[in-house]
Structure 1
Amino acid sequence: MSFSEFKNCLLTISEIIYFDHNEYLREKTSNPFRLKEMIDIAENLLVNTKSEDEKYFLMGTLGNLYRIYGEPQKAINILSECIIIACDQNDSNREIVSLIRLGEAIKYNGNPMEALEIFNDVLDKCKANNNLLYVDFAMQHRGKCLLELGEIAEAEKCFKETLKLREFKGDVSLIKSTRQALNFIKK
């Protein structure tokens, strides 16, 4: 499979990923076999690519897929490499995205306090650099982390702020995700 074919295949991944209402809306898969196939394809492409952009994309994708597949330590390892690449390239957007992904992997690995620190750092970086592109993602993941820590009122504040940002952006799927988190709190 080529890199572009893989990227097109990723567009259908949402069909096998869901938010588990029994585990604080953590992402899970309904088809571990297909998810593992996607991981294997991405690993193969990563070994064979010479493009730095493709390498970064594949590593970030693998980080997410390993986390969802239930191998958060592998996700942590590969996402830590993504942060190094982003810093070497002096690409603050990539660094922020990688840090958010790393925070999630760390949370899935049983360290929600460490993950919360990362999300707080990301929010500080966004504000310091006047980078509003990923504030809603950092806030959403911070809220989910607070939710797992039992800080319900603080989590709700995060989700409400996230919802305002996402409504301004107008991305329907992101708005739906945040509303799902708010509805989860109400239950």
Structure 2
Amino acid sequence: MRIVDFKKSISDLSKFIYFDNNDYLREKTSNPLKLKEVIAEAENLLKTNKEDKYFLYGTIGNLYRICGEPQRAINYLNYCLSYASEEGNIRNEIVTLIRLGEALKYDKKHKEALEFFDEALNKCKANKIDAYLDFALQHKGKSLMELGKFVEAEKCFIQAFQLREFKGDPTLIDSTKQALDLVKRLKNQ
């Protein structure tokens, strides 16, 4: 498979990935075999494709996280972070810090995850890159929510919601509304 065909094929994955309302809105899959097939294809592409290493490692890392293999995800995403740092690509560093934070959260390492989210937030602010602030806040909020820090989580979700309303992306807005609803329910229990 060519990389261009692979990139087209992964857009279909949204059919098999969902946010679990019973597990803090974590991303999960209804078809782990399909995700494993995609991971195997991406790993094969890594052997021959030199230009898209960052994309492939990031994709593989995310898919391993969703499949419930956070340690493997962390390994791939650590490579991504090193690669982005070596390239001096701040945007890719920020994205990878957020992804790594998520993988660490899935690996029950919430404290480390929060450090990565904070680092992503700091890099966004220091480099005036607003495009990822809402993602860093959303994921930080989810991690705080899992730790039972509902007031802090809600503050993150409110900030993320404001940024997402400004972006105008209905999918992102809905995702944050779900997180706000969940944290409010948990707070009132």
Structure 1-normalised TM-score?
0.96
Q: Does 1:3 align with 2:21?
A: no
Task: Give the structure 2 partner of residue 46 of structure 1.
Answer: 46
- Which shifted more, 133-142 or 121-130? 121-130
Among candidates 167, 172, 175, match of residue 173 of structure 2: 175
How far the C-alpha of 1:124 sits from its partner, in A, is 1.2
Q: How does 1:1-187 map to 2 (within 5 A)?
A: 1-51=1-51, 54-187=52-185
* Counterpart code for 1:183: D
Alpha-carbon distance in 1 for matches of 2:122, 2:48: 37
Alpha-carbon distance in 1 for matches of 2:144, 2:50: 40
How far the C-alpha of 1:7 sits from its partner, in A, is 0.8
Matched pairs, number: 185
Alpha-carbon distance in 1 for matches of 2:97, 2:122: 12
Alpha-carbon distance in 2 for matches of 1:50, 1:63: 17
* Counterpart code for 2:16: I
CA RMSD, Structure 1 to Structure 2 (Å): 0.9
Q: Which runs of 4+ in 1 moved over 2 A?
A: none
* Counterpart code for 1:40: A
- Which runs of 5 or more residues in structure 2 are unaligned? none
Alpha-carbon distance in 2 for matches of 1:183, 1:34: 31
- Which runs of 5 or more residues in structure 1 are unaligned? none
Structure 2-normalised TM-score?
0.95
* Counterpart code for 1:170: G
Deviations 1:33-65 (A, max 9, x none): 1111111111111111121xx111010000100
Instruction: Provide the identity percentage.
Output: 57
Q: What secondary structure does 2:131 align onto?
A: coil
